[in-house]
Structure 1
Amino acid sequence: MSNRAIKGILVKTINANQTDWSWKIDHILWAYRTAFNPPIALYKEKMKKCHDAKILHQEFKVGDLVLLYNSRLRLFPGKVKSKWSGPFKVNRVFSNGAMEVENEDGSMFKVNGQSFKLYFGENPNVTKIDVVLEFVLWKKGKWVKGLNTQ
């Protein structure tokens, strides 16, 4: 029995000077007991389904670069600070969703897979190659050679 629910019904039904509450309490308790109150198990099942629908199911592979969500920054928010740290390299993916990742200095640690997202930035292990393009233009009645470096 919920005292808050019974109090709410009493507040709605008794008069302003609260003199008739003892006469109406039997009727209020009968109404509360016969009203439909959903079982807690159904409520919990519905909330679990709602919560599970919001969880992202991401598949990470060994060798992927990922960013780690830093939940401690929520305590001290700043405009300039990023909530994501990394990139980290995935070394091992466990069946329960946990991952073993490697830091830039080579140290490894395990973290829940839900706190990661894929990193789409530059791969630090790939070297850049300069590309030189040679082109020919028709300019003022003659062919002109040029170079374009990127």
Structure 2
Amino acid sequence: MNMEKLAASYRLEYDVKAKDYVRGGEVSSALRAVLKQLSLPPELVRRCCVACYEAEMNVIIHSLGGRLQIDIYPDRLVMVAEDSGPGIEDLDKAMEEGYSTAPEEAREMGFGAGMGLPNIKANTDRLVITTNPEGTRLIMEVLFVGKDS
């Protein structure tokens, strides 16, 4: 499979369980395999997978569980990460490198360094975050032309 064969979109959907640290990274690993099959440049694969991994881990660490939907188009990748509560209390602070509200259990395993949202922002061309006390939704887009492609 390569980009020339991708005439329409290709969708991946995954449920992500809260506190499932053992399976953390499975979604981004599956995405990496698909993007390599599409023969995307390594830097684009890296950017997509970093953003996916950080979103996946945020669902695992901070929510009651959620879902990642990844749509691959000929010219871009769009990922939507949605989770159930408690939302992000201070979004501006959460965008600061090093700011973390991760629980102690996550920190003890080496997660929760406060780089998730900053890494997502740095590796995407567009990031839209909506959050409330019932949950959070991230829409992330990586263009296959332009920035570092």
Higher relative contact order at CA 8 Å, sep ≥6: structure 1 or structure 2? 2
Q: TM-score range by the shorter chain?
A: under 0.3
What's the TM-score once normalised by structure 2's chain length?
A: 0.21
